[in-house]
Structure 1
Amino acid sequence: MLISTLPVRIYYEDTDAGGVVYYANYLKFFERGRTEFLREFNVQQDTLLEKNIAFVVRKVDMDCIKSARFNQLITVKTTVIKQRRASLTFKQEIFHENGELLCQAATLIACVNLQKMKPTAIPAEIIEVIPSAS
């Protein structure tokens, strides 16, 4: 199982008035982590869009354990834990630079035909390159 890592610096724009990361921004960090995970396997989402295919979030189960703060360096870790015909489930975790777990999520991503707005099989060339637990 491959785990992709993405370092992210917390900027002022990521925080609330108290300098704490606003909870919805963890979703943005997870999105970046999934995008970079796919990029590591030369899966470019803009190329998929040209073929009227997109990955869309179907479900997120997120647990905010401890807050990240302004100017901290965090690491987003991403891996695929389940693969189906038209979906991928990612396990994602955000760690403080000292190794402390701050936030975790399981995110179900559906592969969709944009013209029909219906689920479609993940292209074979993607299935062939993405490592999966199942």
Structure 2
Amino acid sequence: MFFDTDIGGVVHNLAYLRMIETCRTKLAGKMGMDLKSMAETKVFPVVVRTEIDYKRPATLGDALLIRGRLDEMQRARFWCAFEIRRESDDALLITCRQALALVQMPEGRPMRMPKEWQE
């Protein structure tokens, strides 16, 4: 989108994070944590770390493909990995990893990872 770019037509770094947020929300739904169930259970995945590498810029008009996956499980947090590629030439533009913790609200209490995620 035009609002995702600067005056030179290059995509802003913040726009990439917004795209990753959208992908992560869809991934959470596939893992059984859709927005409705999070609101009902009051258990939310909270980003505690983001690592992002900018390989190549996307520009105004590029169609982008964002892929996300569960990458690593630990006792009290998990990592998701993301890639953003340009559809026209499959060029790798961004790699990203995010560490998340499950938090029970409103107490703000960290939780252990569900056993079914280990499988």
TM-score bracket, normalised by the shorter chain, equals: 0.7 to 0.9
Q: Match of 1:86, as an amino acid? A: A
Partner of 2:96: 105
C-alpha RMSD over aligned residues: 1.8
Q: Percent identity?
A: 24
Partner of 2:46: 56
Residue 41 of structure 1 deviates from its aligned partner by 4.1
- Confirm whether residue 13 of structure 1 aligns to residue 6 of structure 2: no
33, 53, 56: which one pairs with 1:66? 56
CA distance in structure 2 between the aligned counterparts of 1:42 and 1:120, rounded to whole angstroms: 16
Equivalent residues in 2 for 1:1-134, closer than 5 Å: 11-97=1-87, 98-122=89-113, 124=114, 127-128=115-116, 130=117
| 1:45–1:54 contact (8 Å) kept in structure 2 | no
CA spacing shift, 1:113–1:42, aligned 2, 3 Å: closer
| 1:48-97 deviation line (CA, Å, top 9, x unaligned) | 12212111110001011111111211111111111123322011110011
CA spacing shift, 1:59–1:95, aligned 2, 3 Å: same
Q: TM-score, normalised by structure 2?
A: 0.88
Aligned length: 118
Q: TM-score, normalised by structure 1?
A: 0.79
- In structure 1, runs of 5+ residues without a counterpart are 1-10
CA distance in structure 1 between the aligned counterparts of 2:74 and 2:34, rounded to whole angstroms: 20
| 1:20–1:69 contact (8 Å) kept in structure 2 | yes
Which is bigger in relative contact order (C-alpha 8 A, separation at least 6)? 1
- In structure 2, runs of 5+ residues without a counterpart are none
Name the structure with the higher helix share: 2
CA distance in structure 2 between the aligned counterparts of 1:100 and 1:13, rounded to whole angstroms: 22
